[in-house]
Amino acid sequence: MARKRAALTRQGVVAQAVSLADADGVGALSMRALATRLGVEAMSLYHHVGSKDVLLDAMVDAVFAEIHLPVVGAPWRVEMRRRGVSGRAALLRHRWAVGLMDSRRQPGPATMAHHDAVIGCLLRDGFDLPGTATAVALLDAQLYGFVLQEVALPFETPGELAQIGADILGEQARAAYPHFAAFADGHALQPGFAFADEFEPTLDLALDAVAGLRRAL
């Protein structure tokens, strides 16, 4: 007897869309491709997500749901640091998402809860409204900007980086760009270098700057 296919649910459709984008990039996502992955007709998806835009809203919401939700009333710095580290981990799991996180015109409940908690955590712990706005802008820039660079790097292993360095830094390039060459030779091409190791130090610098916006309590 043929096994009955499990009924589609909105949660299942979104989860499979996220999985497809993780594997092939968001450019490969279409209602037809998702339907093929699920083994259904494309029209059946519209009972659960009304359009591709609605689907993207839900996918972004699913990524926000994976990021640490700051605890309002807890120490702001601890919560913002946890949020930054957790956010980077989520965005590296879903590399297609970094350019979409704040792009949605119909944000979902996890997205709204995240922003509400970030703002609430800062407001409750000594930041005024303008200070909160500046803090959020800086922390988002550090998180999203770092991950954008990280996922765009044209290498994944030290060996690949070394080969790129050898290709770029010929004799003429070394003469023309001595500071770049000195940085590469003395730091970036040294054993143990990893761009990823710069995330937490830059996050801490951003948090130091944000601390200056906080009012004395």
pLDDT in tens, 168-217: 999 999 999 999 999 999 999 999 999 999 999 999 999 999 999 998 55
39 and 105 together in one domain? no
191 and 140 together in one domain? yes
Average pLDDT over residues 65-93: 98
Q: SS3 of 83, please? A: helix
137 lies in some domain = yes
In which domain, by residue range, is 141 found? 63-211
Q: What are phi and psi of 91, to 5 degrees?
A: -70, -30
**pLDDT tens by residue, 6-55:** 678 899 999 999 999 999 999 999 989 999 999 888 888 888 888 899 99
Handedness of CA 133, 137, 138, 142 (dihedral sign): positive
3 lies in some domain = no
217 lies in some domain = no
Q: Please report, for the domain that includes residue 15, its CATH number.
A: 1.10.10.60
CA 47 to chain centre: 29
Cα–Cα dist 121/29, whole Å: 36
